[in-house]
Amino acid sequence: MTNVLKFWLDIGVDGFRVDAINHLFEDPSFADNPPNREIYDPMDYSHFDTIYSKDLPKSYQQVYDWRKYLDSYAEEHGTDTKVLLTEAYTNITNTMKWQMSEDGTQKGAHFSFNFNLIMELKTLPDELNAADVKATIDEWLEHLPDGVPPNWVLGNHDRPRVASRFGVDLVDNMNILVQTLPGVAVTYYGEEIGMEDFRGISWEDTQDPQACGSNETVYQLYTRDPVRTPMQWDDTQNAGFSTNPSPWLPVHPDYVQNNLAQQKVAETSTYKLFLDLVKLRIDHALEYGDFKSEALSNGVYAYSRNMEGHESLVVALNFASTEATVDLTPVLLENSHSEGLVELATTKSIHKRDDVVNLRTLTLQQYDGVILRVNSSAATIFISSFALLLVVLKTLLY
Model confidence at 334, pLDDT cuts 50, 70, 90, reads confident
* pLDDT, tens digit, 9 for 90 and up, residues 208-218: 999 999 999 99
Model confidence at 335, pLDDT cuts 50, 70, 90, reads confident
The chain-wide mean pLDDT, for the chain, equals 93
Q: How many CA atoms lie within 13 A of 27 on its CB side?
A: 9
CA nearest 332: which of 354, 315, 355, 349?
A: 315
Select which of 10, 14, 19, 138 is catalytic: 19
| Residue 174 predicted with pLDDT over 80 | yes
Reported as type and span, the H/E element at residue 133 is helix 130-143
Of the chain, the percentage scoring pLDDT greater than 70 comes to 94
CA nearest 161: which of 201, 207, 193?
A: 193
Model confidence at 393, pLDDT cuts 50, 70, 90, reads low
Q: Which amino acid does the sequence have at 321?
A: S
174 backbone dihedrals φ, ψ, rounded to 5°:
-70, -35
| Residue 224 predicted with pLDDT over 60 | yes
**Long-range contacts made by residues 69-76, C-beta under 8 angstroms, separation at least 24?**
69/2, 69/5, 70/5, 70/9, 70/15, 70/16, 71/107, 73/5, 73/6, 73/9
* pLDDT, tens digit, 9 for 90 and up, residues 146-158: 999 999 999 999 9
Question: How far apart are alpha carbons 111 and 175 in whole angstroms?
Answer: 20
The pLDDT value recorded for residue 184 is 97
Select which of 87, 196, 208, 283 is catalytic: 87
CATH number of 290-380: 2.60.40.1180
The pLDDT value recorded for residue 98 is 98
* pLDDT, tens digit, 9 for 90 and up, residues 72-129: 999 999 999 999 999 999 999 999 999 999 999 999 999 999 999 999 999 999 999 9
The pLDDT value recorded for residue 390 is 52
* pLDDT, tens digit, 9 for 90 and up, residues 298-327: 999 999 999 988 999 999 999 999 999 999
- 184-205: average pLDDT: 98
CA nearest 241: which of 252, 253, 249, 232?
A: 232
The pLDDT value recorded for residue 45 is 76
| Residue 195 predicted with pLDDT over 80 | yes
What is the DSSP pairing of strand 83-86 with strand 151-153?
Answer: unpaired
- 234-251: average pLDDT: 96
Question: How far apart are alpha carbons 307 and 313 in whole angstroms?
Answer: 9
CA nearest 252: which of 228, 270, 269, 216?
A: 228
Question: How far apart are alpha carbons 356 and 343 in whole angstroms?
Answer: 10
| Residue 384 predicted with pLDDT over 60 | no
Active site residue 19: yes
Domain positions in the chain: 1-265, 290-380
Contact 307, 285 (CB under 8 A): yes
- 244-266: average pLDDT: 97
- Position with higher pLDDT, 40 vs 303: 303
Angstrom distances, CA of residue 66 to CA of 2, 5, 170: 7, 8, 39
- Position with higher pLDDT, 231 vs 48: 231
| Residue 227 predicted with pLDDT over 90 | yes
- Contacts (Cβ under 8 Å, ≥6 apart) of 187: 154, 155, 175, 178, 274
Fold of the CATH domain 1-265: TIM Barrel (3.20.20)
Model confidence at 392, pLDDT cuts 50, 70, 90, reads low
- Position with higher pLDDT, 223 vs 398: 223
Tell me how long the chain is: 398
The pLDDT value recorded for residue 92 is 96
| Residue 255 predicted with pLDDT over 90 | yes
| Residue 257 predicted with pLDDT over 60 | yes
* pLDDT, tens digit, 9 for 90 and up, residues 60-83: 999 999 999 999 999 999 999 999
What is the DSSP pairing of strand 339-345 with strand 324-326?
Answer: unpaired
